[in-house]
Structure 1
Amino acid sequence: MVLKPKQSYLKLGSLIGLLALPVLSTPVFAEEFLCDATQASTNELPVLDKACPIGKGLWGKTKPRGSESTFWIQCGVFGQPLSVAKAKKLYQHISTDVWAKAEGKANRCLIGPYTDFAQAKQDLANVKTEPGYKEAFIREVVKGAVSPAPVKPVAKKVSRTSTQATTVIPAPVKSQPTPVVTATESKKAQPQQEITIRLSTSVSGVEYNVPYLMFSDDQFYMEHSLPWNRMSYEAAYKTCYRLGMKLATTEQWQALLASGEMEKSQWPMHLPYWGAEKVGMFTSGKTNQLKGSSLLNIMCVK
């Protein structure tokens, strides 16, 4: 499948060493990719790139067409994008996010994406109880069809002054920041450099931590109703170094996956993680040598 958006983020599938590059000058082939999205302000929904595949409507079908499909709920088509105020009413009924997608003079309202058809059906039933959304329906992106199946959309900042990079409904609850561990850094640290440990576990004597940089200019994405940093290899390496830790080896990554802790404790899993020596570590178990400019999840070990 040829992918030609101006900015794209690849994930899983047949990755060919290109991930989250700022500009793609030539077509990139991959089985799956992350839809690009932008958000002008927190008062507006994030807008999916025109290249983001949303598939075809199922319209009452009880079973999906494909065995590994991805799904969206189309909540409507409007002359203007759905307002954040109206989107808030939908969030009480759904387990994922609301997005806008401009197509000509129309603007689709989309909820998703889903990899679980049963979950999509349940959310659709809930959405239909909200006045004005009785005509909502499920769209299916069939893997292997003309359009590749998307995974979680990632919204990028449109300027350094933007306060959020993706939808924040409901607003995430931030944990209290902890000081940077090194004495030298703690003296110099500014509020935007403070780090908090979001998740932590120990497997076979190795401690795994997922840090989050508070008040930083780093890009982030939403998962489990929380923002998570997306960093280049250099930024991830430096963050772990400041914590007195390192990026995980492939063996340490495999041990963490085998433990089942990531699923159990709802670790961010829509993006791969940086590993030592610029290795991208995927939740499918695959690893790939990547370019340092890729923007991935961060995890530190010691």
Structure 2
Amino acid sequence: MDINMAAKPKQTFCKCWTLVAALALPLFSAPILADEFLCDATQASTNELPLLDKTCPVGQGLWGKSQPRGQESTFWIQCGVFSQPLPVAKAKKLYQHISTDVWAKPEDKAYRCLIGPYQDFSQAKQDLARVKTEPGYKEAFIREVVKGAPLKKAAVKPQPKPKPSSKTKPQATTVIPAPVMAQPEPIASEVVADAPQPNQSDVAIRLTASVSGVEYKVPYSMFSNDQFYMEHNLPWNRLDYEGAYKTCYRLGMRLASSEEWQALLDSDVMKQDNWPMHLPYWGAEKTGLFTSGKVNQLKGTSLLNVVCVK
């Protein structure tokens, strides 16, 4: 089992990643899909586990020989509850037993250690059995998020009103500058005419498809500081919106519209040719294109897969 199932900072692509003994965790700022509920996840540095948002659903525990309650559930393995997030050094030991990622989820006064998410209950059970062989994790168990179940909202404690005081000075207001917006998507004819030719030693085309006259390509930057994650035993880039936009522009292409994305899904090419499907893809105008067919408006800082069209 690879210990490289999570994204890692990289310098070059080579098969040696599957043999590396050390684990460098990714800088996450990506959505995690659980029961079609968009969970935000962030990571401050490669020395810390990525943190799931407090509102991310983790469901109810399944103990013993319990079977899933739903037919389309999402599953997590709970590997413990700690006063601080699980240290990366300990998380490294878990990666040799699992097929997905390790997360920390802040609770009221603790941090829940979670592995997942899983769509396949049998895969979650297999990983759980291996996790339990690691000292200190014999009490690990599976949690189930039943599709359609109501989500619990995070409790918000009311803040006490300050007592009026004649000596109290009015608090200054801090104005946060608005983020710089990305340039509008150029139309295909302009991109083809003006885009610089990419250096073939920098960008490789991993996958291609042609559906209803539209050409689709999945690029991979071989020599850059872009983040990547492992799927189908290969590394795949995870870029923010600006990085995805520029990558497609360099190829004389653009990001897909929701209609073009749906046409690609309907063709079943992605499943047949083992396209990366663990993360959503960037679409035009900062949309997240999900393999479930769902299209969401996202922040440009999320790190997602990239597919370019022409």
Structure 2 Cα separation of the partners of residues 77 and 298 of structure 1: 35
> Contact conserved, 1:75 with 1:109, CA < 8 A, in 2?
yes
Which one of the candidate residues 51, 62, 80 is aligned to 1:58?
62
Structure 2 Cα separation of the partners of residues 50 and 261 of structure 1: 36
> Contact conserved, 2:197 with 2:252, CA < 8 A, in 1?
no
Across the aligned residues of Structure 1 and Structure 2, the Cα RMSD in angstroms comes to 3.7
Give the match for residue 95 of structure 2: 91
* Structural mapping, 1:273-292, within 5 Å: 273-275=281-283, 281-286=289-294, 290=297
Which one of the candidate residues 114, 127, 142 is aligned to 2:131?
127
> Contact conserved, 1:198 with 1:212, CA < 8 A, in 2?
yes
Size of the alignment, in residue pairs? 237
| CA distance 1:103–1:88, change in 2 (3 Å) | same
Aligned-residue identity in percent? 65
Give the match for residue 199 of structure 1: 206
Structure 2 Cα separation of the partners of residues 69 and 115 of structure 1: 7
Unpaired stretches in structure 2, ≥5 consecutive residues? 1-28, 153-191
Give the match for residue 219 of structure 2: 211
Structure 2 Cα separation of the partners of residues 68 and 264 of structure 1: 22
The residue type paired with residue 33 of structure 1 is: F
* C-alpha deviation, 1:292, in angstroms: 8.5
Structure 1 Cα separation of the partners of residues 86 and 33 of structure 2: 28
* C-alpha deviation, 1:54, in angstroms: 1.1
Give the match for residue 309 of structure 2: 301
Asked which structure has the greater CA Rg, the reply is 2
- Verify: 1:228 aligned to 2:232, yes or no: no
Give the match for residue 247 of structure 1: 255
Return 197-206 or 106-115, whichever deviates more: 197-206
Unpaired stretches in structure 1, ≥5 consecutive residues? 1-6, 13-30, 149-180
Q: State the secondary structure of the residue aligned to 1:197.
A: strand
Structure 2 Cα separation of the partners of residues 256 and 8 of structure 1: 23
* C-alpha deviation, 1:71, in angstroms: 0.8
Give the match for residue 21 of structure 1: none
Structure 2 Cα separation of the partners of residues 137 and 258 of structure 1: 36
The residue type paired with residue 270 of structure 2 is: M
Structure 1 Cα separation of the partners of residues 41 and 285 of structure 2: 29
Give the match for residue 260 of structure 1: 268
Structure 2 Cα separation of the partners of residues 208 and 122 of structure 1: 35
The residue type paired with residue 244 of structure 1 is: G
* Structural mapping, 1:46-85, within 5 Å: 46-85=50-89
Question: Scaled by the length of structure 1, what TM-score is found?
Answer: 0.64
Structure 2 Cα separation of the partners of residues 210 and 137 of structure 1: 37
Give the match for residue 156 of structure 1: none
Q: State the secondary structure of the residue aligned to 2:54.
A: coil
Structure 2 Cα separation of the partners of residues 228 and 54 of structure 1: 27
Question: Scaled by the length of structure 2, what TM-score is found?
Answer: 0.62
> Contact conserved, 1:96 with 1:113, CA < 8 A, in 2?
yes
* C-alpha deviation, 1:84, in angstroms: 1.6
The residue type paired with residue 108 of structure 1 is: R
Q: State the secondary structure of the residue aligned to 2:37.
A: strand
* C-alpha deviation, 1:123, in angstroms: 0.8
